A and B are shown apart, each in its own frame.
Chain A
Amino acid sequence: NAGVTQTPKFRVLKTGQSMTLLCAQDMNHEYMYWYRQDPGMGLRLIHYSVGEGTTAKGEVPDGYNVSRLKKQNFLLGLESAAPSQTSVYFCASSYLSGRGGYTFGSGTRLTVV
């Protein structure tokens, strides 16, 4: 089973450029999440989705947009990248109850220069 797949794995952007990170899960999970991981700060929730067609803001949503047009996919967009968005981005998914914990993707390392 693939679990949670993120693409791309690495990306370098120039300030002001835009890009979309794709997350796909094959476990039929209802919930999906986007986190960013920065040294000394753990993981911080950017946006999440509790089902197809729904999204909600997390702790640090500014500068990001998301969409969940299909249950298995959760897209994270940066409209105008800034150096402060240099980070490692992780997608995760879970069942409705969350009892099984989250399944994480392998991450996308993004550098904005």
Chain B
Amino acid sequence: AQSVSQHNHHVILSEAASLELGCNYSYGGTVNLFWYVQYPGQHLQLLLKYFSGDPLVKGIKGFEAEFIKSKFSFNLRKPSVQWSDTAEYFCAVRNNNDMRFGAGTRLTVKP
């Protein structure tokens, strides 16, 4: 079965710092890749997704992610975080009907 690893459990940054959250998966076939965000007390919302084509994907709120097939990675980035980015971020990998989520990375942005 495929699995998803998120390297950081909790990241603390100051406003305007750059962000990179790691995500690796363990499936060799064709996969669809996603990043979701969960703001405190809310449900998961889709940030961005990759299916094919340009491996650099741009999402909402200035987030982007790069798919590196050779490394089985799909890292999330943002050049300058804001206090409002404080949330939990989940990487997900989908193959057919099977969507697996990473354990999540909690991001705290200090004002």
User: Is the beta-carbon distance between B99 and A45 smaller than 8 angstroms?
Assistant: yes
* A44 CA to B90 CA, complexed, in Å: 12
User: Is the beta-carbon distance between B102 and A106 smaller than 8 angstroms?
Assistant: no
Q: Which of B1, B46, B90 contacts A42 (CB 8 A)?
A: B90
User: Is the beta-carbon distance between A104 and B45 smaller than 8 angstroms?
Assistant: yes
Kindly state whether residue B9 has any CB partner on chain A within 8 Å: yes
* Chain A contact surface mostly: strand
* A48 CA to B100 CA, complexed, in Å: 13
* Chain B contact surface mostly: strand
Which one of A12-20, A72-80, A95-103 contacts B?
A95-103
Counting contact residues on chain B (CB < 8 A from A), the size range is 20 to 34
* A25 CA to B98 CA, complexed, in Å: 20
Interface size on A, residues (CB 8 A): 24
User: Is the beta-carbon distance between A102 and B99 smaller than 8 angstroms?
Assistant: yes
Chain B contacts with A in 20-68, Cβ cutoff 8 A = 32, 34, 36, 42-46, 49, 51
- Residues of B at under 8 Å CB distance from A? 1, 4, 6, 9, 32, 34, 36, 42-46, 49, 51, 90, 94, 97-104
| Beyond known contacts A40-B9, A98-B32, A101-B34: 4 more, CB 8 A cutoff | A42-B90, A56-B97, A99-B51, A104-B43
